[in-house]
Chains A and B, each alone.
Chain A
Amino acid sequence: MTEPTSKKQSFSRRDFLKLSGVTGAAAAFLGNMPKANKAIRNAMAAGEGNSFEAKPENQIYTVCLQCNTGCGIKVKLLEGMAAKIEGNPYSPWTLWPHPAYDTPVKDMATVEGGLCPKGQAGLQTAYDPYRITSVLKRKPGTKRGAGQWETISFEQAIDEVVNGGDLFGEGNVDGMKAVRALADAELSKEMKAAVQKIWDEKDAEKKKELVKEFQTEFKAHLDVLIDPEHPDFGPKNNQFMFVWGRMKGGREDIVDRFVKGGYGSINMNGHTTVCQGSLYFTGKAMSAKWNAEKASFDGGDKFYWQADTANSEFVIYVGSNLLDANYGPPQRAPKATDAIVNGRKFAVVDPRLSKIAAKAWKWIPIKPGGDAAMALGMIRWMLENEKYNKAYLAIANQAAATAAGEPNYANGSWLVKIKDGVPGKHLRASELGLLTPQTVQKDGKDVKIFVDAAGVEYPGDTPVALVAGIPTPINVLNAEAAAVIGDMFINQKVGEFDVKDGMQILLESAQEHTIAEWAEIAGISENDILVLVNEFTSHGRKAAVDIHRGPSQHTNGFYANNAWYIVNLLIGNFDYAGGTIKLSTYDRKGTKKGQPFPVLTMFGEEEMTAFGVDMIRTGVAYEKTTLFDGTYPTKRPWFPLASDVYQEDIPSIGDAYPYPIKILMTYMAAIPYSLPGGHTTIEILADPKKLPLFIASDIMVGETSMYADYIFPDLSYLERWEFHGSHPSVPWKVENFRNPAISIPGWPTVKVFGEEIAMSFESVFIAVAEKLELPGFGPNGFAEGVPYIRPEDLYLKQVADIAFGEKEDGSDSVPEADDEELRIFLEARRNLPPSVFDADKWKAAVGGDESLWRKVVYALNRGGRYEAFEKGYKGSKVGHPYGRLINLYQEKTATSINTMTGKPYAGYTKYIPAGLSSTGEEIKDTGYDFNLITFKTITMAKARTITNYWLLAAVPEGYLLINASDASKLGIKDGDMVRISSASNTAGEYDLKNGHKVPMVGKAKVSQGIRPGVVAFPLGFGHWANGSLDMEIDGQIIKGDSRRAVPMHANGAMRVDPVLGNVTLSDLAGGSAVFYDSKVKVEKV
């Protein structure tokens, strides 16, 4: 070891400064600083900053929101200011394995978990100089988007949005009071029931009669309806619409309470389809639940599965970029790098060399949209070579699964009726006379059951399988019933019916092409398929295909996802360690017996019942509504299999279909920026005739809120509450608590119901509720004497539910905080203002019970509730299995109609070419030769991290990735500026409708790591709001910062649907907004 060089003592600069009194001058300079800044400098100068990081009293555990992964974080506080952010060491997102939950919080003071660069940069989101601190109102006389604002008081703003009037000198605007025509909760319930009756009636004439009946029954109240001829449009209340970008549990629950239960509107929509919508809705279709009494399928769960990276011996990551995005790097990267070091192979299917592809055993640069072709090639090989799990797939019901020790079962052997060659519904046992209906007495009531020839009872009609050739009724759900192991690959007549089973239908679909042909369609080699499928089928159930946005955001996304899930299903890896797994969270809504606060049903007075067709046509089938006249296509598509179809919100307002919207409120939404073809929404948002009143909640003037009439300032993620939930690749049962770690110095407060709270998203709802006397809020919001006035009145109840756990006797609850933990909890929050933290008020919010309060403290001290590491798995299976029917064949899908073609959707895995219009036609954009795709760098989330300069230090700008051979043909060199344009945006620019145009121009990055013919750009750059543009507030110019406008963004080049004209291409089955099917031109500028 080198001897430490001795430090020569000499007269240092510091000594000089001390002697010369310059420090005094510096102190005087500090006097001019705003208070907070000064406090920090003083604290640092006084040495208080020394070692502050290591003390538990200076740490609050909460949850990141720099992207949607939701990693647990530890915020280190200096004089109440967040000085540094680390990974929360209790969280399974940041340490693997995660430590024991009962580790004392003081022992964790110097332990930190891994965190990505966005998480590390979070201070710059919270402490963004451009965050607004006052309500901004569009300056009367100026146009939307002009960037001219007036500050007005919160009280006045609430008064204006509630009461309306001539707010902008443009004539009368209806406020929230006028739009809420129906205020009678009882009446709303009765009307909903009557509308349901109309929808349930199948006969067109009888339906019309029911409408007449409705008009007669409610003739005194027809004025509350949007259109009495269409009572199923619902009340005028539905003309208030709430649309959100990123929102998690808790806030989602207040929105539900406000919009539906309080205000009585059906219209609250999330943004699912701009993320990986079709993935969620493929999951929903595959998890559709068999209803034994009705003998039909109910809806499934809106969710999806992912690979268990930690335990898989072989994974195929398809369009799944887990080292940069994908919910998310901190929790998935350690498992992936462990696989690298320990020789567990993985392959990556992606047109672009992602970082995970760079680390992979094989990179298969597939042609965008070719997913289902590649998967069907694998499926064909697996079926023809008998490399599928026959024993598992033959299991036809719960009883057989239980007997075999399987955690779940599929319906591949259930018979499907074939009509004109098209697979439709499952054959029902009664259709063959295997079961007959009977009415029996049960508990003194008449109950309809079904009985077979031997007298065995079934709760309803059933599907049928052939068992050794004999048609057999399947009691699907009852674990005690007869186990059914079905024959597979059936193609015959049974009784009068032509039938096949799901496996046969799958085989035929896979045999539409040879493996070589499938490979050609996918733009890969046959050998790629053979090598991958051979490896995939060599690890039993410890192999998995992991899919994400890549397959999903195509017009054929639903079927691409389904094809890959079927590949998993064929080896039976669902619910197995190393296979395909799902998330598990603690119940935050108090629906389990014994949980202290069933918050969803806690209304102090009767809540409204929202009803009617929703604005984006997802809650009810077109054919059931009064709009149905037997004709197709509809003016805009309906979405029988999806919800939260983000790209449809604004265009539907623009077309007033199915009805006009009067008030839109958006939250954390960057609609024009984040949607493909999002430029089309600007024109609508900017037009008060199409959208009379536009309210936004935002932390600054963003790409959507810049068009708003009012912007209400919100709190950043470090200042507020939410329950972040979990992600499919996390096997443990968890819930993450986002809770206030800081308050911005001088942050404005407002008075609601006489109480002072922080100006925030919640404060808008609570204040409007106070003005309109909505049920569910105020001194008796939850129940007589149980108030909902402060935001945490709800959130702490939810923390209490989670801390209590899910066992009625309380045996699942967390420990109580001891005095030391309580002290740390209180001291850590010593700098939060009483409007945010007041220990007595917090305790009162959970009912004042000391024991429950201490449990709440214990859980909050850890930033969430995390199940013990060893509970994630039980032997070879996961600890929290999905555990029920998986639909290999989807009857519900097969009986849903595509309203643009009038034809039913296919109920099975099928290859459909990508990039078709909404009516299913090929789009020929001659002269636009490149296929544009997007990706993420780990430094950027889509819409909210461009303000973080530290991240720009690592990756300074976006770019267009282009293959070297393509670049060479176009004469483009690395670093050249290029413009992207398309047939639906020939100018290659965003027109902001305020005189500004933002060109889709950026640097070319010439690379070998992208498929020729494909160009790609990373999302998150190229913003035009968020502090990048000058704006005027009260006549004063606030200069924008050009660092926030670094290029480039090219969503506006994505293809607008040629039929609809004002919306991106969409996957009508799965709902996805399409990011990867547009043809563009790349020109050097």
Chain B
Amino acid sequence: MTNEASLLDKYTSEVFAGMVAPVLEGMNISAAPADDPLVKEDVLFRMNTELKRALEKPASERRWVMVIDLRRCIGCHACTVACIAENKLPPGVVYRPVMIEEVGMYPNVSMKFLPRPCMQCENSPCTEVCPVIATYHNEEGIVVVDYDQCIGCRACMAACPYGARTFDFGQTYAEQLPVFEGAVVGGKTAAAYEHASQEYGEARPRNGKHESPVGNARKCHFCLHRIKDGMLPACTTTCIGRATYFGDANDSTSLVTELINKPNVIRLKEELGTEPRVYYIV
């Protein structure tokens, strides 16, 4: 097995390896430097500082990218749950799953972990197929959904090669649970938090089956509402393995710029020409 192939085998899923193998030809992965961004301050601090710097620029001059170091991903699902908690995602809606795959034969066996947010493609198949232009690139280049515009046709879901979109069927996790005043707290009082989403900086209490985002195809938006206030995406801050990095790739000194120019960086399904803004370190 070549060095590249064995590295890929260790850190990526088989499906994933198939997606990226062509890109790696001739790439000298063993030259990947071992310098570690955690030496002086937590990398979350550095990224927070860089985020604030980027926010001082006009929006159109930023290029948000995400970098995920698969060597550091431990499959903990903190990002998945932080995203659900941040955006108050209902049952069935998930923006950032983490795929776990067991590989090998006992006792030579391992596990691969692959977080899969929306790739925020520059050439995004999903936006192309939307009949009502409810999904498009905002001025920072992020693929967003206008919930008011979306008619729930799900063409985008079918078009996305990464499976990054899920449909909101209007369920809640806890609100429907029993109420008994004076004995238990009850679903209605307890689950008010399910309405406290700030996605896109909009107030959208889940008032019933027919009000957006219910009935919409939903997806990751890099937590635009957090970015605007100087906070990193929820998946990034919560990542306990420090496997997720976020920042402005137009800033030549940013961590993400440093990372995406390393030789051991890949993107999923590069051959499709979707130009993802999510990079993986292997």
Chain A: residues with CB nearer than 8 A to chain B?
Answer: 1-8, 10, 12-15, 17, 26, 29-30, 33-37, 39-41, 44-47, 49-54, 78, 81-87, 95-99, 110-117, 119-121, 123-124, 127-134, 136, 151, 323-324, 329-330, 333-334, 336-338, 340-343, 353, 355-356, 358-359, 363, 365, 700, 744-746, 938-939, 949-951, 953-955, 963-965, 1007-1012, 1033-1034, 1036, 1038-1039, 1041
Pairs across A and B, CB under 8 Å, 14 listed = A15-B148, A34-B188, A37-B191, A85-B85, A114-B240, A115-B78, A120-B78, A333-B240, A333-B242, A341-B72, A353-B102, A949-B173, A1034-B183, A1038-B183
Given the known inter-chain contacts A1-B141, A134-B182, please indicate yes or no for A112 contacting B122, CB distance below 8 A: no
Given the known inter-chain contacts A337-B74, A358-B111, A953-B94, please indicate yes or no for A110 contacting B229, CB distance below 8 A: yes
- Whether B187 contacts A129 by the Cβ 8 Å rule is yes
- Whether B106 contacts A965 by the Cβ 8 Å rule is yes
CB of B1 closer than 8 Å to a CB of A: no
CB of B109 closer than 8 Å to a CB of A: yes
Q: Point out the residues of chain A lying under 8 angstroms from B178, CB to CB.
A: 129-130, 1038-1039
Q: How far is the CA of A7 from the CA of B145 in the complex (A)?
A: 11
Per-position contact with A for B205-245: 1 when CB-CB < 8 Å, else 0?
10110011000000000000010111110000111111100
Given the known inter-chain contacts A365-B107, A953-B81, A1034-B183, please indicate yes or no for A337 contacting B212, CB distance below 8 A: no
- Other than the given A39-B192, A40-B195, A134-B182, 16 more pairs (CB < 8 A) read A2-B141, A7-B146, A53-B229, A78-B196, A114-B44, A116-B76, A120-B238, A124-B174, A151-B182, A323-B241, A334-B241, A744-B185, A953-B80, A1008-B102, A1009-B109, A1033-B180
- Whether B77 contacts A117 by the Cβ 8 Å rule is yes
Q: Point out the residues of chain B lying under 8 angstroms from A1008, CB to CB.
A: 102, 104-106, 109
Q: How far is the CA of A151 from the CA of B34 in the complex (A)?
A: 63
Q: Point out the residues of chain A lying under 8 angstroms from B106, CB to CB.
A: 365, 963-965, 1008-1012
- Whether A37 contacts B137 by the Cβ 8 Å rule is no
- Whether A121 contacts B102 by the Cβ 8 Å rule is no
CB of B69 closer than 8 Å to a CB of A: yes
Interchain nearest-CB distance for A308 vs B (Å): 16
Q: How far is the CA of A240 from the CA of B86 in the complex (A)?
A: 46
User: Contacting chain A: which of B17-25, B35-43, B153-161, B265-273?
Assistant: B35-43
Q: How far is the CA of A111 from the CA of B231 in the complex (A)?
A: 7
Q: How far is the CA of A963 from the CA of B141 in the complex (A)?
A: 47
Interchain nearest-CB distance for A831 vs B (Å): 13
Q: Which 3 A-B pairs have the closest CB atoms?
A: A358-B111, A44-B203, A117-B81
- Whether A37 contacts B111 by the Cβ 8 Å rule is no
- Whether A50 contacts B182 by the Cβ 8 Å rule is no
Chain B interface size range = 35 or more
Q: How far is the CA of A1011 from the CA of B107 in the complex (A)?
A: 8
Option from B174, B188, B242 in Cβ contact (under 8 Å) with A33: B188
Closest to A964 in B: B106
Q: How far is the CA of A459 from the CA of B86 in the complex (A)?
A: 64
- Whether B190 contacts A117 by the Cβ 8 Å rule is no
Q: Point out the residues of chain A lying under 8 angstroms from B242, CB to CB.
A: 114, 333-334, 337-338
Closest to B49 in A: A111
CB of B256 closer than 8 Å to a CB of A: no
Given the known inter-chain contacts A7-B136, A950-B85, A1008-B106, please indicate yes or no for A96 contacting B94, CB distance below 8 A: no
Q: Point out the residues of chain B lying under 8 angstroms from A35, CB to CB.
A: 189
Given the known inter-chain contacts A13-B212, A341-B36, A359-B74, please indicate yes or no for A121 contacting B85, CB distance below 8 A: yes
- Whether A26 contacts B44 by the Cβ 8 Å rule is no
119-142 of chain B: CB within 8 A of chain A: 122-123, 127, 132-133, 136-141
Q: Point out the residues of chain B lying under 8 angstroms from A45, CB to CB.
A: 203, 205
Q: Point out the residues of chain B lying under 8 angstroms from A132, CB to CB.
A: 183-184
Q: Point out the residues of chain B lying under 8 angstroms from A29, CB to CB.
A: 207-208
- Whether A50 contacts B183 by the Cβ 8 Å rule is no
CB of B71 closer than 8 Å to a CB of A: yes
Interchain nearest-CB distance for B93 vs A (Å): 9
CB of B193 closer than 8 Å to a CB of A: yes
Closest to B189 in A: A34
- Whether B238 contacts A99 by the Cβ 8 Å rule is no
- Whether A53 contacts B226 by the Cβ 8 Å rule is yes
- Whether A133 contacts B185 by the Cβ 8 Å rule is yes
Option from A82, A134, A336 in Cβ contact (under 8 Å) with B183: A134
Q: How far is the CA of A4 from the CA of B133 in the complex (A)?
A: 12
- Whether A47 contacts B186 by the Cβ 8 Å rule is no
Q: Point out the residues of chain B lying under 8 angstroms from A37, CB to CB.
A: 188-189, 191-192, 195
Q: Point out the residues of chain B lying under 8 angstroms from A13, CB to CB.
A: 148-149, 212
Q: Point out the residues of chain B lying under 8 angstroms from A33, CB to CB.
A: 188
Closest to B107 in A: A365
Given the known inter-chain contacts A36-B189, A341-B71, A950-B85, please indicate yes or no for A54 contacting B229, CB distance below 8 A: yes
Q: Point out the residues of chain B lying under 8 angstroms from A41, CB to CB.
A: 192, 195, 205, 207
